[in-house]
A and B are shown apart, each in its own frame.
Chain A
């Protein structure tokens, strides 16, 4: 599966191995990690939610587009959902190609399009107990969530 939504920890070494091929002279990977702040607010945890079926459908389309647009041999992406801690890997993209230029371009294309198009949502939990959905103007009465 070229684009996968997973609730398990992402294993970058294993994913990278799956792209190995003798014709590749370059491998570019991107890892998105959970950081401890956003817009100046201290973040203690993140929660990702997705519509898995549509996310995987749209994500596979993005990977196909990358394979068509750039001279690459293989590409895949995995995105994690559920509650993540600081430092966890939230998303992994890997691309192999004969030469580095196409691999960099395709990797960037996949992560940029994923952030724009794939139905995945991110909720930040802040140190002061509030939480909020990133990019959303629709506010839920924070802290509305009961502790889990």
Chain B
């Protein structure tokens, strides 16, 4: 188990009802953490359409999590 902070944006933030939360998790990768949080908060977007950033850098979904990471979850983008 490691401690990380999840941060939510746009639709994820509104759905979760919070900007961020401290978590203790078994998830080893960002993908596993997304699956866990999707169940918890009811995020309905397929991971392939979303993005993740670790400590303010975009990262691949299979990136391994480290204790203390800040994991940013981005729902599907819609600029322009």
Contacts and interface: CB of A to CB of B under 8 A. Distances in A.
A90 B80 contact: yes
B61 interface: no
Interface string B33-77: 000000000111110010101001110000000000000101111
A48 B79 CA distance: 8
B14 A140 contact: yes
A122 B79 CA distance: 7
B44 to A, nearest CB: 4
A54 B55 CA distance: 11
A84 interface: no
Interface stretch (A64-72, A96-104, A113-121): A113-121
Closest 5 CB pairs of A and B: A120-B79, A121-B10, A140-B14, A133-B11, A134-B78
Contacts of B53: 51, 54, 119
A121 B11 contact: yes
A87 to B, nearest CB: 16
Interface residues of A, number: 34
B75 A121 contact: yes
B38 to A, nearest CB: 9
A75 B40 CA distance: 43
A42 interface: no
Interface of B: 9-12, 14-15, 42-46, 49, 51, 53, 56-58, 72, 74-80
Task: Classify the secondary structure of A's interface with B.
Answer: mixed
A137 interface: yes
B1 to A, nearest CB: 27
A117 B77 contact: yes
20 contacts: A48-B79, A49-B9, A50-B79, A51-B9, A53-B56, A54-B72, A115-B78, A118-B77, A120-B80, A133-B10, A135-B76, A136-B45, A136-B76, A136-B78, A137-B46, A138-B11, A138-B15, A138-B42, A139-B15, A139-B44
Nearest to A115: B80
B11 to A, nearest CB: 4
Nearest to B7: A51
A13 interface: no
A107 interface: no
